[in-house]
Amino acid sequence: MAVAPAHEATMATDDTQSIAELYALLSTCFQTPDRALVEAARTGTLYEQLVARTGSLGFRPERPPTDGFEGVPDLHEAYLRSFEGFEGAYAPPAESAYEQWWDGRDGGLLSGPAAVDMRRRFDAVEVDIPDRYPADHIALLLEYGGLLLEAAEIDAYVSFHEEHFDWIPDFHERVEETCEDPFYVWTVQVLSGTIEAVETQLLRTDQPDEHDG
- Over residues 6-20, the pLDDT tens digits come to 435 556 666 899 999
Residue 205 has pLDDT above 70, yes or no: no
Cβ-based neighbours of 154, under 8 Å, separated by 6 or more: 9, 10, 11, 16
* pLDDT tens-digit map of 21-35: 999 999 999 999 999
- The Cβ of residue 126 has, within 10 Å, a number of other Cβ atoms equal to 6
CA distance 38 to 26: 14
Percent of the chain predicted with pLDDT > 90: 71
**CA atoms of 102 and 120, how far apart (whole Å):** 16
Which pLDDT belongs to residue 1? 43
**Cα angle 189-167-165, degrees, rounded to a multiple of 5:** 85
- pTM value? 0.87
- Which pLDDT belongs to residue 21? 96
pLDDT tens digits, one per residue of 158-177: 999 999 999 999 999 999 99
What's the mean pLDDT in 104-128? 83
pLDDT digits (tens, 9 = 90+) for 54-85: 988 888 999 999 988 889 999 999 999 999 98
